[in-house]
Structures are given as structure tokens and as C-alpha cells.
A and B are shown apart, each in its own frame.
Chain A
Amino acid sequence: MNNTAISGPHIAASNSNSTNQIMRKVILALLPATGFGIVIFGWPALYLCLISVGSALAFEAVCLQCRGLKPGHYLADGSALLTGLLVALSLPAWAPWWIAILGSAIAIVLGKQVYGGLGQNPFNPAMLARVALLISFPVEMTTWVNPGLILLGPGPIDSLAIIISGVANPDAVSGATTLGSVKTGFSLNQTLPGILYDYSGWLALLGWERGSLGETSSLLLLASGLWLWRQGVIQWYTPAALLGTLSVLALLSHWIDPQHFLSVWVHLNSGALMLVAFFIATDYVTSPNTRLGQLIFGAGCGLLIFVIRSWGGYPEGTGFAILLMNALTPVIDHYIKPRIYGRYRNGKPLDLGQTE
């Protein structure tokens, strides 16, 4: 195809955001948080990223081959690479190798390719993998290693052993995340000031805390998210609605009962929130098309995250919240449709005689 004479309001893919470029920018935006995760969690985190991304690419290639497509062309769009990276970032940094491979398999095969590949999946592949793994392997998925500098941690060879056969003495080097210890503390009838006596808001903002490989640093993720917004890759509606809803709910509940409800700061700097708000909830494929739809989607995610974190069985609820709202996306899109050019929102033609 060679369409040189383009007229009208078309957007040429070559000099704007094509799929490849969007994926490349999102991956680029994730690199600071990934790098930070590797620096504080050490070599095992690096290996986990490589295994996850590599196996995601391999599964994508196998699936494309099975579907009778040329893998090279589709692999180059970067979507499998991004999915693999997101899977790695949502895993505990010292998770065993098979968790990463299984996660990539679930994300790529069950989450994406069985529906027909990129653009056809109803659920976010990375979140699907995260939730499936969390439900199936609660021990491996909640062994959170303490942060420490990569130079002081286990070396490259020892780290290989950690990824292959697990940590020899997990209790010595791991502990609970902030949200996890809060959930445990409540079950022991403690109150928040007692549980969070050594909580440091600044370290949490920076990311120096236990958590998933690439999710701890709220600051870096927030900065990358804002960069993506400035680049025009994502719109502000979903993240703003998500963070706004969660903040308002947290503010109100913390004001009413500060002993049992987390403050806004803890909510915003814990778990996968920043990653989810800017990189997962804004997924083009699995979120609504319209501005109003995206605002509702984001608000729904924020509400569900607050509900699950406050009253749910799991400490962190972002994965479940995203999947539930993904399931509602077709409903939102059914009721809130984009306005067609020359028509009102309800589909009737514009009444040109009346306008003056």
C-alpha cells in the first residue's frame, strides 16, 4: 500500500504515535523504576526481568506460529516485551524462575493470544498473570525481600542459585510489605499507630521498602507517568480519577477513624498503586474509549482498591480491582459512546437548521 495523497483529518502513523512507538515509550518510562528495583533488590531482580521478558517473547512467538502468522513482524511491535516486563515488575524480586515463566505464559497465552492477540484481550494480561499467580502460589508471591544495595547483596553467581532453587533461609532476608503488615496487625487486634511505628513516609515515596520488583518507588513511577502524559501516550483522566477517588475515600475514612484506616500518604505510596494508575489502568485495549468512560473506569478502580485494601482478604487489591473494572469496560462503552462526527452523542444527526 502506498497512500501518498492523504487529505482530511487523518493521522499518519509514521510520524505520530504508532503501536511500536507507544510501546517503546511505555517501556522507556518503566526503565527508571525497573533499574531502581534492580539496584535495591540485587541480581536476582535482574535475572527475573530477563527470564520474564525472554519467556514472554518466546510464548508470543510460539502462539503466533500456531496461528499461522509471521512472528518477526508482530514481535517487533514490543507489546510482548512490555507485558513480560510488567509481569516481572509485579513479582516479588526474589521469586523463583518458574514463577516468572508461568506468569509470562498466563499473560501471553491465556491473557492475550487465545482471544486473538493484541487489541482483542478483555483483561489486562499482566494483571491476569499477577492475580492467577497470587491465588495459586500465595507463599512464593508474598515472600518480600528486604531492600539493600546491589553491591552489598548476593553476587551474580549466588543470585543465580537464589532464582533457581530459592532462598536458603527466607525469614532472615524477607518480611511483610506495609499493606501486609497492616492486615496482619489488624488480625491481632493492633491499631495503626502500633503497626506502623517504624513506617517512613519518605522512604516509601522513594521506594526503599519491601514490595514487588518495580512497584516500590512511587516517585519514579509518578514521574514516568507524568512524562507519558506529556508525551501524549496516556490521557490524564484515568489516573486522576483513580488516585482522586482513592485519596478522597482515604481522607474521609482516616479522618473518621485514624486507628483503623490508612492515611492518604500510605495508600498512595503502597503496593502497586502508582504502576497500576499510570501504566495498567491506562491500557488502551482494556479500558473505555471516552473521556467520561475513562473517568468512571478510574473512579471504579480507586473505589475497589480502597474497599479491598480496607476490608478484603488480600492486603493489596489493585490486581483484582483492575480485572473487575476490565470486565465492566464493555458495559461502560455500551452506555457511553464516543460522539460520531456530525452527530449528537445519542446518534441522531446534528440539527443544522437550528444552529445559528
Chain B
Amino acid sequence: MKLSILLSAPYRKIAADGLWHNNVVLSQNLALCPLLAVTGTATNGLGMGLATMVVMVASNAIVSASRHLIPGEIRIPVFVLLIAVLVTLVDLLLNAWMHELHKVLGLFIPLIVTNCVILGRAESFASKQPLLPSLWDGLMMGAGFTLAMVTLGAGREIIGSGSLFMNASVLLGESFRFMETTVIPDYQGFLIMILPPGGFIMLGFMVAGKRLIDLKLANRKLAIHAQLQSAGAVS
């Protein structure tokens, strides 16, 4: 099997859907509970996003591989059980190998199991698609989710406490300490952005921003289309 298959049209579409058009947070508005709960800093958003991505890839793979074995009537309980097992694994692994991060995210890792987007991808994609597209979909949806989490966390962290990627060394190791930056020196903080209301405010602006960009892109496409048509009419 060649990796170049990932550049073929259907796979490109999966990637574009996951990263932008059908983004978990910005378009589907799913997974908002962990989103709002942990994105006080960009690092926490990154950690939570990566953990969710791992679970999503694994669950998509297992669901896809066993999709012919699972009777349709009981597929939801089976999916839930599978996801719960995976989340427990991630929880224990994080606790064992990244204990400091687990102390920060610990409360929210079990919440991944209630994260509707994992069940959503299992139900709407992996249970109907072969293994490779399912793996790719899990990876891309997870990456889109992580991107949104990091952007949201970064926005809240900069406005709320004037820093960026604080405690990145805890998540990624000592060699990533350079990422910890103080954006605004001597900043006394804007507490409400760190608190849950800040998450809602920031998320609202991000969703609005995505729709604005989509609108601009669509308008540009229409304009080009109209130009081509008029050019064709003249010639």
C-alpha cells in the first residue's frame, strides 16, 4: 500500500472535511464540554486535543475493522463500550507516563468517553467505511479538533493571562520549554477570559470568524465564475 493514496481525491476530501469544512468544533459544534472546560491555556488545549485524537483514531479503526461483526441493533452500546475501554487505557497511560499533565487534565480525560464526536464519527463514518479511510478520518477529525482547541486556548491564554503555551514543558518534555512565552509583560490578567464565560466568548468569535472566511471564499468563487462566464460570452 502506498502513502500516495492519501493524496487522492476522496482522502483529500476527508482531510478537508476534518480540518475545516466539517470541523468538529467550528462547524459541528460538538465536544464543547471539554472544549470550554480545559482551554484556559493553549497547552491544556493541545494535551486534551491530542488525547482525544488518539482515542478517535483507535476507536475509528476498531469500529471499522469489526463493522461486519457488530449487529446493527446493538451497535451503539458496543461502540460506547469500545470507546470507554480506549479512554480508560489513555487515562491510565497518561497517569503512568505523564503524571504532571494528568494532574491538570485528569478530571477531563474520563469525559472523553462522553465526548459525542467520537461516537458520532464511529456511527456516521467508521461503521460504514473500510479501515484506511476510517483511520484517516479519525486522524483528520482529531487534528481539526486539536487545532480548534489550541487556537481557543491560545486566545484565552493571551488575553486572560498574557502568556502563551505555559507549562508546555510538562506536556511535551523539557526540550519544548522554549515554547513558553510571555506575550504581555507585567500583565495583571483579565480573569473572565480564563473562567468559563471567556471560553464561550472566544468560541463565539471563532465560529463567526470561520463563517466570515467561508463567506468571503464563496463570494470570491462566485466572482471568478461570473468573470469566466462573461469572458466566454464575449469570445
List the interface of chain B (C-beta within 8 A of A): 188-193, 195, 197, 201, 204, 208
Contact = CB atoms under 8 A, between A and B. Distances in A.
B180 to A, nearest CB: 23
A224 B201 CA distance: 35
A248 interface: no
A136 B201 contact: no
Interface string A340-352: 0000000000000
A135 B204 contact: no
Contacts of B197: 132
Contacts of A114: 204, 208
B193 to A, nearest CB: 8
Contacts of B195: 135
A266 interface: no
A135 B191 contact: yes
Nearest to B189: A136
B201 A135 contact: no
A351 B192 CA distance: 54
Interface residues of A, number: 6
A285 interface: no
Contacts of B208: 114
Interface string A317-329: 0000000000000
A195 interface: no
A110 B197 CA distance: 12
Interface in A90-127: 110, 114
B223 to A, nearest CB: 18
B201 A110 contact: yes
Contacts of A137: 188, 191
Nearest to A138: B191
B192 A136 contact: yes
B215 to A, nearest CB: 12
A136 B191 contact: yes
Contact of A132 (B188, B189, B192, B204): B192
A137 B189 CA distance: 8
Contacts of B204: 114
Given A135-B192, A136-B192, 8 more contacts: A114-B204, A114-B208, A132-B192, A132-B197, A135-B195, A136-B189, A136-B190, A136-B193
The 4 A-B pairs at the shortest CB distance, nearest first, are namely A136-B191, A136-B192, A132-B192, A136-B190
15 contacts: A110-B201, A114-B204, A114-B208, A132-B192, A132-B197, A135-B191, A135-B192, A135-B195, A136-B189, A136-B190, A136-B191, A136-B192, A136-B193, A137-B188, A137-B191
B104 to A, nearest CB: 23
Nearest to B188: A137
